[in-house]
Structure 1
Amino acid sequence: MTELITFPVHAVGVRAVVIGGGLAGMLAAAALRGTAGEILVVEPDELPVGPAPRRGLPQAGHVHVLWSGGVRAVESLLPGTTERWLAAGARRIPVPTDVLAYSSQGWLRRWERDTHFVIACGRDLLDAVVRAQVLGGDGAAGRGGAGVTVLERTRAVGLLGCARRVTGVVVRRDDGAEEKIEAELVVDASGRASRSPWFLAGLGAGPVAQRVVDSGLVYASRLFRAPAGIDRFPLVSVSADAHTGRPGRSASLLPVENGQWLVTASGTRGGEPRRDPREFEPFLRGLRHPIIADLISGLEPVGDVAISRSTRNVRRYYEKAGTWPERFVVVGDAVAALNPVYGHGMAVAAQGAAALRGQLLTTGLGDPRFARRVQRDIARHASAAWDLATGQDIFYPGAVGGPPGSVDRLLARYVDRMLRTAAGSFLVTRKFTDVTSLQASRSRLMVPSVVLATALGPRRPPLSGPPLTAEERALLVGGGTRR
């Protein structure tokens, strides 16, 4: 029989509980500063010190980028984070200037005018910097400078309260002991494994509608030592074409910290990459363009090939629930778990945390519809990324969540033509990256100037090959110095 302990709210201030100590959870804790005098983060794992692997983040070994829309949200919560990332070895890569992108419609130009940017580094480093910002010092679990305490090896197993209002959480520690933790606000940031739909059902709230779109994507990633003397190199991506009727195979090469290149190959159902390191380069060479295989040929690998299959798109429509309890909010992957190939999950989590902060500042916890307002704001950001991801994934052979309807097909044809136009039009490139950077909704693609430019087509002829600089071309053909 487990021991049940009541953990009452301190009289001196508001207590908030965040379920999950990953990136979304840390950003949610940052959003609560100034509102809650005590912030408890419930985390089933042990958080690492510094940029080290975390058991609850098995996908950390794959390419991650944080788009500028997400960076700005992080900065609004934790000013100075970008400087800390860069000081720790991350790079700020301007888009499209330092991006070699082979889209489904051909090579995109590297316009001299930047539109947006991404932060590029290993996921462990990115998380560690945010964790240190929230918890202080090296990010070790404990009490942070603003009253943030991490309860490690502790799992949320239920909510306290009723269908009208959540009043806390029930947690279970590794030794089996259970505790009731009373709180004025509970935020679920527990990611894909979130149990919120079941917790809410136990209170008589909900129901929560859910949609799954699964292309069967598998990731295979490996680190390589970058060629000597190459201080800066662009982000390289070779995209799949979702409309060929064949499995979609793609890859990205991301320059990361410590003089290394991280390469992630991916394939949808029927075209998956394998863990065998002997098959890694041949898989890359079989893509729509072999540039990434050419770039890594002869480079020294660092470690083995990492595989991940947790790539389903899962959308939970909390904002549409018939009954929603006050003082409960869900953010990050727990709302919209996205296929990582599009690089939007972290940005959506950051924007969701910023939305929580915004409502705390404008209406406060005392507003009787506070939680509902926050959930709708979070849904707005999640929907933009969801549309971008599922609008492609639904077309791959064997995809779960289809078949695509007539509207899906019409939008897909429009996006294809827009990509073709973007290869020769800075205007369309700018508007398209406004959306992919998550700094504008998809409606930006339908404004009259963009529709007209897309209808007229590219103003410049398509590129016959990758837009490389002289230094990059020398490296590609073997002229660069290898380690």
Structure 2
Amino acid sequence: MTETDTFPASATAVRAAGAVRAVVVGGGLAGMLAVAALREAAGEILVVEPDELPAGAAPRRGLPQADHVHLLWSGGVDAAESLLPGVTDAWLAAGARRIPVPTDVLALSSQGWMRRWERDSHYLIACSRDLLDAVVRRRVLGPGGGHGGGVTVVGGARVVGLLGDARRVTGVVVRHNDGSEEKVEADFVVDASGRSSRTPRHLAELGAGPVPERVVDAGLVYASRRFRAPAGAGRFPVVSVSADARCGRPGQSANLLPIENGQWLVTASGTRGGEPGRTAEEFEPFLRSLRHPIIADLTADLEPLSGVTVNRSTRNLRHYYEKARIWPERFVVLGDAVAVYNPLYGHGMAVAAQGAAALRGRLAAGGITAPRLARRVQRDVARHVTPAWSMATGQDVFYPGATGGPPGSVDRLAARYTDRMLRTAAGSYLVMRKFTDVTALHAPLHRLMGPTAVLGTALGPRRPPLSGPPLTPGERALLRDTPGVRR
């Protein structure tokens, strides 16, 4: 059975008398988490989705970036768990790994190799994006897949307009793949349609807004490939080789993520002027040209399980919905429909989960009819967006040819502090913990400027810098003993 059902011939006709109806625009991760957030407040939820959602961990046309490395930081995992209790265990049972940070992360930051302290600070969930989404879909929709429990998935349809006016949204206009349109009344509407969201235009048509926005684009290009992991690599760490945004050269980096089914997913990336190639022949040379060739060494002569997949949709874009002069009641925007970030930082999914959790919290406190509910939710969402946005754009504005800049004096001051903090974190557990509190999205950005963090950063690292990657004896043995892999 597929996870998509056909839209009822007349949506209003099947509405139960007195039932509260919500419409969620988009059936991706943010959309499914929005459904979970709405469950207790709405008796009927319609999910409008252009794609036919797959029955399992399979590709979806509207998610071309799924072939690349995705990280779900523990701040986002906690939010998802609050919406879908048990989802973490479900991910792990399906083949994902819980990666403790920093113990199982082998990272070359812009300021040097990071120590793998035996004391974990946070964690991330490592798997393919297809698996991660499939587990969430199944827990939200159930084994029946999209019809039942008050939720109906409307496949092959798009929302092309909002009903209502600048004061309140009362529904959506749905266009099906056959060209037919229908007006669907709703008590609440959530836009979780991702980077293709048309909300700014829809709001303008209602007379709401205007909505400020900002774009920062470093011209990043992603190129990814899957490999069969070598024998004995079952608990191999995540490997990350980062660029230095302030060295005056294009930023080139790569990540190796152990995923399900004994595979390694490798994503190489380069900003404008330093992009990776599209062919298999160009993939390893690019990895070998990075600041350290460890990922090239690890994957040399491994069996490739895919070709090279390229993605260029990587700009940072933020809609400041919380600053709109007029905002209609009963309408909320979540996830990538609010802001998208350079994927290098791995924050998009976590921020979407935190936004959905914020929606649920507001609904639980005041109900779906609470005055100014939508405005309050957008402000809550913005508070979660801001740390991820600042971390991404605070780096990207420094790359050659980046749009949305140039960096100002505040950017440069913040960058110098961040560089010193990273150098210190490489030799200080306390500063590393403060830094990962923010990067794992457990703490607001201003925590980096708290007294303990500032004092620790000023005092500098307690241990000398590492001269090379901090591999364990078992990991070194893997490099030594795997046929064809260079040390």
**How high is the TM-score relative to the length of structure 2?**
0.96
2:433 aligned with 1:430: yes
Provide the secondary structure at the position in 1 that maps to 2:35: helix
Partner of 2:287: 284
1:325 to 324, 328, 350: 328
* Aligned equivalent of 1:7: 12
d(CA) in 2 for partners of 1:354, 1:404:
33
5+ long unaligned stretches in structure 2: 1-8
Partner of 1:212: 215
Deviation at 1:225, TM superposition (A): 0.3
Q: Which amino acid aligns with 1:264?
A: T
Q: Distance in 2 between matches of 1:481 and 1:359?
A: 56
Tell whether the 8 Å contact from 1:7 to 1:179 is kept in structure 2 after alignment: no
Alpha-carbon shift at residue 408 of structure 1 (Å) = 0.3
Instruction: Report how far residue 482 of structure 1 moved.
Output: 7.2
1:189 and 2:192 correspond: yes
Q: Say which of 368, 387, 390 aligns to 2:390.
A: 387
Work out whether residues 475 and 481 of structure 1, in 8 Å CA contact, stay in contact via their aligned partners in 2.
no
Task: Give the distance between the partners of 2:91 and 2:454, measured in 1 at CA.
Answer: 38
Q: Percent identity?
A: 74
Deviation track 1:424-465 (CA, whole Å, cap 9, x = no partner) reads 000000000000000101111111111111111100000000
RMSD: 1.2
- C-alpha distance in 2 between matches for 1:148 and 1:395: 45
Decide whether the 8 Å contact of 2:316 with 2:341 is kept in 1: yes
Name the structure 2 match of 1:130: 136
Match of 2:43 among 34, 37, 40: 37
Q: Is the Cα–Cα contact under 8 Å of residues 228 and 481 in structure 1 kept in the other structure?
A: no
Write the mapping of 1:326-341 to structure 2, written as runs, cut at 5 A. Answer: 326-341=329-344
- For residues 458 and 360 of structure 1, what CA distance do their matches in structure 2 show? 45
State the partner residue of 2:169: 166
Query: What is the match of residue 25 of structure 2?
Result: 19
Q: What is the distance in 2 between the residues matched to 1:480 and 1:336?
A: 42
Deviation at residue 6 of structure 1 after TM alignment: 6.8
Q: How many corresponding residue pairs?
A: 476
Tell me which of 209, 231, 245 is aligned to 2:248.
245
Please give the alpha-carbon distance, in whole angstroms, between the structure 1 residues aligned to 2:456 and 2:171: 53
Query: Could you give the per-residue CA deviations for residues 63-100 of structure 1, whole angstroms, max 9, x where no partner exists?
Result: 00100000000000000000010000000000000000
Residue correspondence of structure 1 range 364-379 to structure 2 within 5 A: 364-379=367-382
Q: Shift of the alpha carbon at 1:51?
A: 0.1
Q: Secondary structure at the match of 1:395?
A: coil
SS at match of 2:308: strand
Secondary structure of the residue aligned to 1:263 is: strand
Look up the match of 1:259.
262
SS in 2 for 1:367: coil
Distance in 2 (alpha carbons) for counterparts of 1:132 and 1:443? 37
Say if 2:233 and 2:478, in contact at 8 Å, map to a contact too: no
Matched with 2:6 is none
Cα offset for 1:12? 3.4
CA deviation string 1:14-48 (max 9, x = no partner) = 00000000000000001000110000000011000
Q: Cα distance, 1:368 vs. partner?
A: 1.3
Question: What aligned pairs does 1:451-470 form with structure 2 within 5 A after superposition?
Answer: 451-470=454-473
Confirm or deny that 1:93 pairs with 2:99: yes
**1:23 partner letter:** L
Contact 2:226 2:305 in 1 (8 A): yes
What residue in structure 2 maps to residue 415 of structure 1? 418
1:268 aligned residue: 271
Change (3 A) 1:6 1:30: closer
Letter in 1 for 2:66: A
Determine the structure 2 residue equivalent to 1:114: 120
| Counterpart-to-counterpart distance in 2, 1:410 and 1:229 | 45
Deviations 1:273-325 (A, max 9, x none): 01110010000000011000000011000011000001010000000000000
Tell whether the 8 Å contact from 1:332 to 1:348 is kept in structure 2 after alignment. yes
Give, as a single letter, the amino acid of the residue that structure 2 aligns with 1:113.
R
Where does residue 3 of structure 2 map in the other structure?
Answer: none
SS in 1 for 2:306: strand
**1:382-423 deviation digits (Å, cap 9, x = unpaired):** 111100100000100000100000000000000000000000
Q: Deviations over 1:176-229 (max 9, x none)?
A: 110100000000000000000000000000001110000000000000000012
Q: Does 1:66 align with 2:66?
A: no
